[in-house]
Amino acid sequence: MDNYLEICVHPTISIKEAMEVIGRGRVQIALVVDFDGRLLGTLSDGDVRRSILKGKGLEGDIEDSYNTTPIYIDNEKSQNELLYFCSKNNINQLPVVGKNNKVVDLFIVNEISLKHHKNIVVLMVGGLGTRLRPLTENTPKPMLKVGGKPILETIIEGFVKSGFDNFVMCVGYKADVIRNHFKDGSEFGVSIEYVTESKRMGTAGALTLIKKRPKEAFFVMNGDLLTKASYENFLEFHKSNKAMATMCVREYEIEVPYGVVNMKNENITSIEEKPVHSFFVNSGIYLLEPGCIDLIPNNKYYDMPSLFEKIISLEEKVVSFPLREYWMDIGRMPEYKQANQEYTSTFE
């Protein structure tokens, strides 16, 4: 909303003044903020009328009339993510806040239409999941439930929020469990094609089995990840860098549990007590240009790091996209338990 400041009011204004603000605006709502612009709540026409019915005079302030627990969202979300959030919560307008909870916009659903992207999303879901046995004896790892639903379903929902609905699933172990749940994808508002690995092909090798070659940059993602990554921002970053391949990376810290002694020859120069070393690690999410598939050997096991090394050796542009949002690789039982504990607060 271009003129959202016109509907921002302070809790000290009168009911009469608030009615005038709401009446002037086309959204029939006022945003209640403090003198630093931080969101305190929302005031609707209905809130005002209920207050009057309770005996509140027109000259009284709105202090106890507005909603002090409004639904709002941060300004790092894309328009598609905002639309999905509003649809899920059945709301038509949504305050958007930035740093220190300061109001930066009012998102109005009927002003925006969902943007659909043609880019294909390839999900690698054929692994054995041996480290999660016995849970994976009859269920493929991507179908293990976290937060009451399969991991793979949450992954698909994440892409749908960003306007991606064209999926290819590379299946192998217990493939029927995945096929029977998702079918052609129509029940989930997406289109799904399946590629079956008759033998282990690796995270890159399975790409050679795709029947229809992607015409534009496409995603590749491991099917055992939970993340709040912004896929639209990831795609825009890949395009703006004109990269052949982009890897989503995550910062990973390791603390040395001892005092590290730095030396020059036999002389001790310093001692660092339990230093922390930080690295960027592969997060299992990638964007590739279609030509990358030509670099993968047919009918052979080939993993994604090998493909990236090949592209680098050809001096093509390869870039990294730092992931700051929530990310969890559910490869072992501790991560599986942690993901279940964190799911509600993170994804709902």
Distance of alpha carbon 102 from the chain centroid = 23
* Mean of per-residue pLDDT scores for the chain: 86
Q: Which of 207, 197, 205 is nearest to 120 (CA)?
A: 207
Per-residue pLDDT of the chain (348 residues; tens, 9 = 90+): 667 888 888 989 888 888 888 766 666 788 899 988 899 988 887 787 677 767 777 788 888 888 888 888 887 777 777 777 777 777 777 888 888 888 888 877 665 555 678 999 999 998 887 888 888 888 888 999 998 899 999 999 989 888 899 999 999 888 899 999 999 999 888 999 999 988 888 889 999 999 888 999 999 999 999 998 888 888 988 998 899 999 998 888 888 888 989 988 888 899 989 988 888 889 999 999 999 999 999 888 999 999 999 999 999 999 988 887 889 888 888 888 988 888 888 886
Digit-coded pLDDT (tens) for 298-341: 888 999 999 999 999 999 999 988 887 889 888 888 888 988 88
pLDDT score of 112: 56
Question: CA torsion sign, 153 to 155 to 158 to 164?
Answer: negative
- What phi-psi label fits residue 284: left (phi over 0), alpha (psi between -120 and 50 degrees) or beta? left
Q: Which two tokens stand for residue 261?
A: 């002694």
pLDDT score of 309: 95
Q: Report d(CA 255, CA 274) in Å as an integer.
A: 6
pLDDT score of 1: 62
pLDDT score of 246: 94
How many beta carbons lie within 10 A of that of residue 86, not counting itself?
19
User: Which residue(s) pair with 259 in the sheet?
Assistant: 273
pLDDT score of 136: 83
Where do the domains of the chain lie?
4-111, 121-347
In CATH terms, the fold of domain 4-111 is CBS-domain (3.10.580)
User: Which residue(s) pair with 200 in the sheet?
Assistant: none
HEC assignment per residue over 273-304 = ECCEEEEEEEEEEEEECHHHHHHCCCCCCCCH
β-pairing verdict for 121-125 and 103-108: unpaired
- Tally the C-alpha atoms within 13 A of residue 8's C-alpha that lie toward its C-beta: 21
Question: Do 121-347 and 4-111 fall under one CATH topology?
Answer: no
Burial level of 12, CB count in 10 A (0-12/13-18/19+)? exposed
Determine if the pTM surpasses 0.85: no
In CATH terms, the fold of domain 121-347 is Spore Coat Polysaccharide Biosynthesis Protein SpsA; Chain A (3.90.550)
pLDDT score of 108: 76
